Chains A and B, each alone.
Chain A
Amino acid sequence: MNQDEHSAHLEDHFLTRRQFLQRAGMGFGALSLAAMFGNELFAPAANAMEAEATLLPKAPPLPAKAKHVVHIFAQGAPSHVDTWDPKPALSKMDGQEIPGQNGVAMGSPFKFEKKGKSGIEVSEVFPQMGELVDDLCVVRSMYTDIPAHEVATVMMNTGSRLVRPSVGSWVLYGLGTENQNMPGFISLRPGGAPPGGTANWQSAFLPGIYQGVSINTKVPTLNMLIENIRNPVTPLPEQRRQLDLVHKLNEIHSQNLQKDAQLESRLEAYEMAFRMQTEATDAFDLNKEPQSMREMYGRSAQGNQMLIARRLIERGVRFVQVWAGGWDHHQDLEEKLPDRAKDIDQPLAAFIKDLKQRGLFDETLIVWGGEFGRKPTRDRNGGDNPGRDHNSKAFTTVLAGGGVRGGMTYGKTDDFGAASIENKVHVHDLHATILALLGFDHKKLTYRYNGRDFRLTETSGEIVKAVFA
């Protein structure tokens, strides 16, 4: 037995990470060893099967039109025929049976008006968004599988009813993120949990590093946003001194063992954590915004969320999910729907204008929409103040920014808006399109789990190229 062969001299073969970074003139967190030398040598034995998970930015395999995604989720299923998909035929039939629809027609109580150069008709409930219609791509032919909120909400975010990674997790897995001081996928919610809960931002079988960080934007203090983001007793300069000691202890420990990738990568994690304490909370600190900006977005829950979303995008966060729900109008639609529209109209319009003035609009794909649409008929439960029931066969999703052509509509529903009939876009197709705009072939962005290559779009998905700018 040759004991000499077991001395700890791995560094003879490879520079230590620190040496390498020093020689290359880079700071911590710039690159990881595994990224430089390939995964095999440095993958921890326990996960020899699994490529090392990393958040470092990666170039997509295909030309990309967008770098970030902001998905504003209008949970509850907004009525398309009252917002983005005008149906004069429905208004004409108001109060009469619609053949084949098993119900009484309910014309929209809201006026539609041609807006912008494109002349796209937008409902009066979206006055500010209407002004921006030349920047919007209104996809009027969406459809999904099941008209139940939980199932369809999770479906919209994961492409499945089963336990699958969310769109944001796939994007993070594919692209990494640009700011190593911040989580790359952040989900903002104004209190409570949406139907489906964490399933909507889960990484499922993708490594946990790709999980969305869910942030309740209604919590009153910054330190409650990210667990343990604040040290209650140790000032930063002293914590720096302590952390330097930790690194020295780790150096000794590591020399006594071997330069193991899992030990090395922790240095990076600690440095990022240290920086997150100031950087991450800063991103959420709206007090740092000028008053004029606060007014532009509106001082409201959604105004705050959209402003935070902009601060996150500015900082290189890859995927932001914004929950802006409350659209389940089975009754009192005429009274209640405008309130929900008002919640998001000004914040979203401000967000678009703000991204434009900052030069971020073209690289940020904005998606607004719900999990399904609503029926053209009166909900039988609505009584004298009617609303509409669920409809998985037709709804509208609005796209803007990164690589999307503004001032266009895509697809059609039938005369009453009961079902999408022309250029239909399934949820899988929307996902394929989002990935395409980010530079991926959705069929090739796969992850092997339990011996099978999984992908976001399962076995379907057609890219809607017509919406590309």
Chain B
Amino acid sequence: MKNVLPLMLLVALGWGRAVAADLTPAQTDFFEKKIRPVLADNCYKCHSTQAEKVKGGLLLDSRDGLLKGGDTGVAIVPGNPEASLLIKAVRYTDPDLQMPKNKKLDDDQIADLVAWVKMGAPDPRVAMVAQSKWDDNKTNHWAWQPVKHVTVPQVSNPNWCRTPMDNFILAKLDEKDLKPSAPADKRTLIRRATFDLIGLPPTPEEVQDFVSDTSPDAFAKVVDRLLASPHYGERWGRHWLDVARYSDTKGQPRRNTEDNLNPFAWTYRDYVIRSFNEDKPYNQFIMEQIAADRLASWKRDPTNLTALGFLTVGDHFMGMQNDILNDRIDVVTKGFLALTVTCARCHDHKFDPIPQKDYYSLRGIFDSCVEPKNEPVIAKVTATEAYRGYYQQRELLTTEADNLEASLPGFRKSGDLDAFKEARRTLQQKEHAIAELDLNNPGSPERAMVLEDAAKGHDSPLFIRGEAGNRGEIVPRRFLQILSAPNRPVYTNGSGRLELALGIASKNNPLTARVMINRIWEHHFGAGFVPTPDDFGMMSDPPSHPELLDYLAMNFMTNGWSIKKIHRLIMLSSVYQESSESNPRYVQIDPGNRLLWRANIRRLEYEPLRDSLLAIGGMLDTNIYGKPVDLRKQPDNTRRTIYDFVDRANIDDVLINFDFATPDMVTGARHQTTVPQQALFLMNSPMVIQVARRLVATPDFVATEDDAERLNFLYERIYQRPPSPEETSLGLEFVGETPLPGEVLPLAANNDGGKKFNQKNNQAFPGYIMKNRAPLTSWEEYAQALLQANETSFVN
């Protein structure tokens, strides 16, 4: 059903006019249907740029090659089949010149070739080389234009504007005759800021300090304190890990040759957290994630090499190399540029000016890279007992694995299938044991999931229709056309990754700064200027505030690409400090609140939700960095959720239910669904019950005898505010009643079928969970109700 010819489409879309001028659609059609398949199937093996050894100096995979001919002369004379060597060869009339060697072509195929030469050998492949004509509509798109210096607009109410940013917001509101909402109260503001920057609620003391600080820079002090917190990197690092499709497993490892675990993915995760904490300039952050191994800096600090995990923590697609490369092209172009370059894998991009050749330019870069079998150690290794133990075990396992791997071809050859399978199974076990050792052994030194340049960089052929067996012209490694000056330099430095990184981390790149500013804005306001953070192409909605986007992007670049400075700029503005109060008239004019006439109400993602529940219960383990913990296996572990073991092919149900960014693709904006499993988590999960119990067991709570004061305590801890009179009376009423009696729902056995009834699993609740099976007291139930209520899960 693959009948859509990419070239026909080009013609139809009008941006391959050079093609149209040379060939009629019928000619192109004839070539694609009758000629190209014959050449590809029967000739390319020996006569193409991809041939292992080109025979007779003849290349048939380009028009130039055909016309130039090989050692015996020109292959075809357009219009004259009788004079064409190629025709002579396929006809098998000359015993010394018979091609293909093993089998004569069918008569039909020969007739087609003759007809084709007769009509002048129309060959669309020549047109592919020609520069595609650029359609103005496509090149005028706002996102490809340079970031502009913009003037701060005049507004109706200059007093409202604390920062120039606010002028841009108010100017847009003025156009619609809308007014910004009142400033948020201090408690709301500090809660919003704290969740925004560190993903945790403020403590009652922090709230009190802020409320009683009447100095004009009170909020600036809060923002600076939060930006300096080591938990800032955990919050913002997680946003970036969504983009980086981070996982501690490969998902689909190469069969037989690697284990599913990524034992060192966490070193990349820590790199990301650390980079945010250190306010690493964003351009440097980009450079390191694409080409840390090509920068001098890693020699001073080898941990920088961990940055390359950005490229390598993707799926391994059962070893299908073309899919692995596709994933890397995808994460780089969507992640940094919000461009869907991978749409051009099989054909020119349908909407954006990204020719298919651009995809293969990038493919050449990543195809010129290798992942070393053993990742380099980046920590200083000292010969401790632990390390020696690790080293010995690893050497042993590696030797065993190598021997097994070496034995496989022998078994296969001898036809001893059982022995072969057994060896393969054992090999897989050894590989898993090595990965487990690397991940879990305390003596295992940190390593970086690097990518390295191959000995020699090479260009990639274009795959026609994306089919690996259908190779077209060779495409040089170089940057994307739409982001380049007319004479794009060809990449020559190794794989070209360093040059690619420089092209992206550049002030001249119209997308890089805008894309990151948009991501930052989204996580502060609930939506970006451009609502599709990973696609700024022609199909995306235009930015709500294009001038402000440029203002911030310019500011970002001229202030050393400092992300923290951008946070500060944004958060000290009036627009950030608006209240979330609604307005019925405004709802009708701007239902999505794109103009930001108020603050959006935002639901916490799973990570800050779980983390804040643990913090509220006084149970949060605040250690930063380190190896992952599998919260499914250790449900009573209270480390922050960013340290949870992410298993790409087997994501924890609870994460799925809370719209976790599945690490299969770049996820700049998570879905937000409301499903009953989320409610079940807050209603029934042993963790939430435990938090409720812990709250009520807090010494301060126990020491308080007055019920109203107890309510106050719970409200301050959970919502960072005192209860209203209405809420107090509701609470007093609830705790005054005796819990209703009754049995908990039985944990009935499911079925009696299945041969492997596993008694070990036959426990009501896994792990810690319910050592304490006593019913909740009214106070505990009340505390849990507060945790279940919306205010816990939402920031306003």
A235 touches which one: B252, B586, B673, B743 (CB < 8 A)? B743
Minimal Cβ-Cβ distance residue in A for B597: A6
Cβ-based interface call for A62 (8 A): no
Q: In the bound complex, do residue A230 and residue B747 qualify as a contact, i.e. CB atoms below 8 Å apart?
A: yes
Q: In the bound complex, do residue B532 and residue A163 qualify as a contact, i.e. CB atoms below 8 Å apart?
A: no
Q: In the bound complex, do residue B679 and residue A252 qualify as a contact, i.e. CB atoms below 8 Å apart?
A: no
Q: In the bound complex, do residue B742 and residue A48 qualify as a contact, i.e. CB atoms below 8 Å apart?
A: no
* A residues in contact with B796, CB < 8 Å: 257
Q: In the bound complex, do residue A53 and residue B351 qualify as a contact, i.e. CB atoms below 8 Å apart?
A: no
Q: In the bound complex, do residue A6 and residue B581 qualify as a contact, i.e. CB atoms below 8 Å apart?
A: yes
Q: In the bound complex, do residue B1 and residue A428 qualify as a contact, i.e. CB atoms below 8 Å apart?
A: yes
B343 touches which one: A208, A258, A452 (CB < 8 A)? A452
Cβ-based interface call for B784 (8 A): yes
Q: In the bound complex, do residue A9 and residue B584 qualify as a contact, i.e. CB atoms below 8 Å apart?
A: yes
Q: In the bound complex, do residue A225 and residue B750 qualify as a contact, i.e. CB atoms below 8 Å apart?
A: yes
Chain B positions 532 through 547: 1 when the CB is less than 8 Å from some CB of chain A, otherwise 0: 1011011111000000
**CA of A328 to CA of B434 in the docked complex: distance in angstroms?**
30
Cβ-based interface call for B762 (8 A): yes
* Segment 3-32 of A: residues with Cβ below 8 Å from B: 3, 5-10, 12-13
**CA of A9 to CA of B584 in the docked complex: distance in angstroms?**
7
Q: In the bound complex, do residue A246 and residue B785 qualify as a contact, i.e. CB atoms below 8 Å apart?
A: yes
Instruction: Number of A interface residues at 8 Å Cβ cutoff, please give it.
Output: 111
A12 touches which one: B180, B584, B674 (CB < 8 A)? B584
Between A46, A193, A286, A301, the greatest number of chain B beta carbons within 10 A of the residue's beta carbon is seen for: A46
B672 touches which one: A217, A229, A246, A262 (CB < 8 A)? A262
Cβ-based interface call for B602 (8 A): yes
Cβ-based interface call for B392 (8 A): no
Min CB distance, A41 to chain B, in Å?
5
* B residues in contact with A199, CB < 8 Å: 649
Q: A218-B756, A238-B781, A249-B791 are in contact. Are A150 and B252 (CB under 8 A)?
A: yes
Minimal Cβ-Cβ distance residue in B for A41: B591
Q: In the bound complex, do residue A41 and residue B741 qualify as a contact, i.e. CB atoms below 8 Å apart?
A: no
Min CB distance, A240 to chain B, in Å?
8
Min CB distance, A417 to chain B, in Å?
23
* Segment 522-569 of B: residues with Cβ below 8 Å from A: 526-527, 531-532, 534-535, 537-541
Cβ-based interface call for A241 (8 A): yes
* B residues in contact with A248, CB < 8 Å: 730
**CA of A202 to CA of B251 in the docked complex: distance in angstroms?**
14
Q: A2-B179, A301-B755 are in contact. Are A236 and B742 (CB under 8 A)?
A: yes
Q: In the bound complex, do residue A266 and residue B679 qualify as a contact, i.e. CB atoms below 8 Å apart?
A: yes
Is the contact region of chain B dominated by helix, strand, or loop, or is it mixed?
loop
Q: In the bound complex, do residue B750 and residue A221 qualify as a contact, i.e. CB atoms below 8 Å apart?
A: yes
Q: In the bound complex, do residue B751 and residue A304 qualify as a contact, i.e. CB atoms below 8 Å apart?
A: yes
Cβ-based interface call for B769 (8 A): yes
B659 touches which one: A208, A287, A428 (CB < 8 A)? A208
Cβ-based interface call for B102 (8 A): no
Q: Which among B29-37, B80-88, B161-169, B683-691 touches the partner chain?
A: B683-691
**CA of A18 to CA of B691 in the docked complex: distance in angstroms?**
31
Chain A positions 225 through 239: 1 when the CB is less than 8 Å from some CB of chain B, otherwise 0: 111111111111111
Cβ-based interface call for B142 (8 A): no
Min CB distance, B465 to chain A, in Å?
11
Cβ-based interface call for B744 (8 A): yes
Cβ-based interface call for B456 (8 A): no
Q: In the bound complex, do residue B532 and residue A49 qualify as a contact, i.e. CB atoms below 8 Å apart?
A: yes
Minimal Cβ-Cβ distance residue in A for B580: A257
Chain A positions 241 through 252: 1 when the CB is less than 8 Å from some CB of chain B, otherwise 0: 111011011101
* A residues in contact with B586, CB < 8 Å: 5
Cβ-based interface call for B651 (8 A): yes
**CA of A190 to CA of B773 in the docked complex: distance in angstroms?**
31
Chain B positions 641 through 665: 1 when the CB is less than 8 Å from some CB of chain A, otherwise 0: 0000000011101101101001011
Chain A positions 436 through 462: 1 when the CB is less than 8 Å from some CB of chain B, otherwise 0: 000000000000001110000001100
Q: In the bound complex, do residue B527 and residue A46 qualify as a contact, i.e. CB atoms below 8 Å apart?
A: yes
* A residues in contact with B181, CB < 8 Å: 6
Cβ-based interface call for A100 (8 A): no
Min CB distance, B796 to chain A, in Å?
6
Min CB distance, B585 to chain A, in Å?
7
Cβ-based interface call for A118 (8 A): no
Q: A208-B656, A426-B1 are in contact. Are A246 and B775 (CB under 8 A)?
A: no
Q: In the bound complex, do residue B583 and residue A6 qualify as a contact, i.e. CB atoms below 8 Å apart?
A: yes
Q: In the bound complex, do residue A300 and residue B1 qualify as a contact, i.e. CB atoms below 8 Å apart?
A: no
Q: In the bound complex, do residue A278 and residue B745 qualify as a contact, i.e. CB atoms below 8 Å apart?
A: yes
Q: In the bound complex, do residue B581 and residue A219 qualify as a contact, i.e. CB atoms below 8 Å apart?
A: no
Q: A269-B678, A460-B1 are in contact. Are A6 and B602 (CB under 8 A)?
A: no
A209 touches which one: B603, B653, B675, B743 (CB < 8 A)? B675
**CA of A199 to CA of B752 in the docked complex: distance in angstroms?**
29
Minimal Cβ-Cβ distance residue in B for A193: B650
Q: In the bound complex, do residue A245 and residue B748 qualify as a contact, i.e. CB atoms below 8 Å apart?
A: no
Minimal Cβ-Cβ distance residue in A for B334: A450
Chain A positions 47 through 74: 1 when the CB is less than 8 Å from some CB of chain B, otherwise 0: 1111001000000000000000000000
**CA of A230 to CA of B740 in the docked complex: distance in angstroms?**
18
Q: A233-B744, A237-B742 are in contact. Are A249 and B657 (CB under 8 A)?
A: no
Q: In the bound complex, do residue B754 and residue A190 qualify as a contact, i.e. CB atoms below 8 Å apart?
A: yes
Chain B positions 180 through 210: 1 when the CB is less than 8 Å from some CB of chain A, otherwise 0: 1110000000000000000000000000000
Cβ-based interface call for A381 (8 A): yes
Cβ-based interface call for B417 (8 A): yes
Min CB distance, A141 to chain B, in Å?
15
Min CB distance, A255 to chain B, in Å?
10
* A residues in contact with B470, CB < 8 Å: none
Q: In the bound complex, do residue B782 and residue A245 qualify as a contact, i.e. CB atoms below 8 Å apart?
A: yes
Q: In the bound complex, do residue A5 and residue B657 qualify as a contact, i.e. CB atoms below 8 Å apart?
A: no
Q: In the bound complex, do residue A44 and residue B1 qualify as a contact, i.e. CB atoms below 8 Å apart?
A: no
Q: In the bound complex, do residue B744 and residue A285 qualify as a contact, i.e. CB atoms below 8 Å apart?
A: no
Cβ-based interface call for A198 (8 A): yes
Q: In the bound complex, do residue A222 and residue B581 qualify as a contact, i.e. CB atoms below 8 Å apart?
A: no
Cβ-based interface call for B43 (8 A): no
Q: In the bound complex, do residue A46 and residue B672 qualify as a contact, i.e. CB atoms below 8 Å apart?
A: yes
Cβ-based interface call for A119 (8 A): no
Q: A40-B591, A220-B750, A269-B674 are in contact. Are A452 and B650 (CB under 8 A)?
A: no
Minimal Cβ-Cβ distance residue in A for B417: A381
* Segment 183-226 of A: residues with Cβ below 8 Å from B: 190-191, 193, 197-199, 202, 204-205, 207-209, 211, 217-226
Q: In the bound complex, do residue A230 and residue B750 qualify as a contact, i.e. CB atoms below 8 Å apart?
A: no
A8 touches which one: B582, B754, B756 (CB < 8 A)? B582
Chain B positions 744 through 787: 1 when the CB is less than 8 Å from some CB of chain A, otherwise 0: 11011111111111110111110001100111100001101110
B579 touches which one: A6, A272, A284 (CB < 8 A)? A6
A198 touches which one: B323, B649, B685, B758 (CB < 8 A)? B649
Min CB distance, B223 to chain A, in Å?
22
Cβ-based interface call for A356 (8 A): no
**CA of A304 to CA of B677 in the docked complex: distance in angstroms?**
25
Chain A positions 263 through 282: 1 when the CB is less than 8 Å from some CB of chain B, otherwise 0: 10110111011101110010
Q: In the bound complex, do residue B775 and residue A233 qualify as a contact, i.e. CB atoms below 8 Å apart?
A: yes
**CA of A277 to CA of B157 in the docked complex: distance in angstroms?**
55
Min CB distance, A293 to chain B, in Å?
13
Min CB distance, B650 to chain A, in Å?
6
Q: In the bound complex, do residue A262 and residue B603 qualify as a contact, i.e. CB atoms below 8 Å apart?
A: yes
**CA of A342 to CA of B773 in the docked complex: distance in angstroms?**
44
* A residues in contact with B537, CB < 8 Å: 451
Minimal Cβ-Cβ distance residue in B for A197: B649
* A residues in contact with B323, CB < 8 Å: 161
Q: A6-B598, A13-B584 are in contact. Are A227 and B680 (CB under 8 A)?
A: yes
Cβ contacts A to B, 6 pairs, < 8 Å: A12-B584, A46-B600, A221-B749, A231-B689, A249-B789, A262-B603
Q: Which 5 A-B pairs have the closest CB atoms?
A: A451-B539, A235-B742, A258-B582, A48-B592, A273-B679
Taking beta carbons and an 8 Å cutoff, which residues of B are in contact with A? 1, 4, 157, 160, 179-182, 252, 318, 323, 340, 343, 350-351, 415, 417, 526-527, 531-532, 534-535, 537-541, 579-588, 591-594, 598, 600-603, 649-651, 653-654, 656-657, 659, 662, 664-665, 669, 671-681, 683-686, 689, 724, 726-727, 730, 734, 737, 739-745, 747-759, 761-765, 769-770, 773-776, 781-782, 784-786, 788-791, 794, 796
